Amino acid sequence: MLSKMSWTLLITAMAPAVWGSTYLVTVALLPSGLPLTAAVLRAVPAGLLLLLVVRRLPRGSWWWKSLVLGGLNIGVFFALLFVAAYRLPGGVAATVGAVQPLIVAGLATWILKERLSLAVILSGIAGAAGVALLVLQSQARLDPVGVLAALGGAGSMAAGVVLAKKWGQAEKPLTMTAWQLLGGGIVLIPVMLAVEGLPPVLSAANLAGYAYLAVMGTAVAYALWFRGIQRLPVTAPSFLGLLSPVVATLLGGLVMGERLSPLQGLGGLLVIGSILVVAVGSRRPSSARDASAAGVDQSAGARVLPALR
């Protein structure tokens, strides 16, 4: 039987798996050339939907904290991600973004005073190398602005993850997700209006694509993601995020008939291996704490929770 930590890892991994499907939806159903519009139409409707479910507004300092976390995890991240996507081939953008686990580990060491282990460093390098083998093409070009945007996007979400860990959880994960999605949408709206203007008239296919991205790719996926951030050690979710290019590549093969090379297979194995190393390492400290707590006080076991990512 799987432990509680293993179930949390599997449930959290569903978020990047869903994100891996968004590329196909974007290409097939959304209007081209409107990345910020897509980001706003993902974040705001999803945040409003969740807010209708939870029916709770932020209180006290969580008004500005939700805005900061939403800006880092959603608003700034989406904006820079789309800049990188426009200026770089997808493989380059994904490869640069794959350094996020290492950024999270570094920030956690600095801000949270967590120990940076050699296993995490080597796993982060292996994971980034695996993504490169999986998606990077030989004719890929490097654009300095695009590379900086990809690094900035990875750094933005990494900072959001570590700050969420530091600030803790004011409400249930679903409520925190609603606040952050709306906060991120508020950050994005003026940028969208300045760069792209008001959204155009949308077709039925466009609406279906945006509905999928808002409900499955954002509301559901981010609810699972932020739940994992609250319950897992700080580096674990960032490594799980490397599953997204793996799923995107597999779907490209299954749906679009793209053939996978042996190097891509090796890249996928490197990514999975790096995730497993961090996942196994994440479980050990939790088990030790639970066993220690159980030996002292059986009722204390319910209060021992895994650290947030």
pLDDT score, position 140: 58
Q: How far is CA 167 from CA 110, 287, 296, in A?
A: 15, 24, 29
Tokens 């507004």: give the residue.
57
pLDDT given for residue 47 in this prediction: 94
Give backbone dihedrals phi and psi of 288, rounded to 5 degrees, phi first: -65, -40
Nearest to 242 by CA among 99, 52, 110, 139: 99
Computed over every residue of the chain, the mean pLDDT equals 83
pTM above 0.85, yes or no: no
Which among 6, 239, 240, 247 has a CA at the least distance from the CA of 123?
239
pLDDT class of 285 with cuts at 50, 70, 90: very low
Assess whether pLDDT exceeds 80 at residue 256: no
Average confidence (pLDDT) over 233-240? 90
Rounded distance between C-alpha atoms, residue 129 and residue 269, angstroms = 11
Residue 288 pLDDT more than 60? Answer: no
Q: Report helix, strand or coil for 64.
A: helix
Residue among 15, 12, 47, 41 nearest 29 (CA): 41
User: pLDDT digit string (tens) for 105-126?
Assistant: 999 999 988 888 888 999 999 9
- Nearest of 150, 176, 171, 153 to residue 67 by alpha carbon: 176
* pLDDT over 90 at 207, yes or no: yes
Q: Where are the domains of the chain?
A: 4-289
Query: Nearest Cα to 175, choosing from 44, 47, 309?
Result: 47
pLDDT at 89: 67
Percent helix, strand and coil across the chain, each rounded to 5? 80, 0, 20
Of these ranges, 134-138, 215-219, 264-268, 298-302, the one predicted with the greatest mean pLDDT is 215-219
238 close to 100: Cβ distance less than 8 angstroms: yes
The DSSP string of 223-268 is HHHHHHHHHS-TTHHHHHTTHHHHHHHHHHHHHS-PPPPHHHHHHH
The answer to whether residue 28 scores a pLDDT higher than 50 is yes
Mean pLDDT, residues 282-287: 54
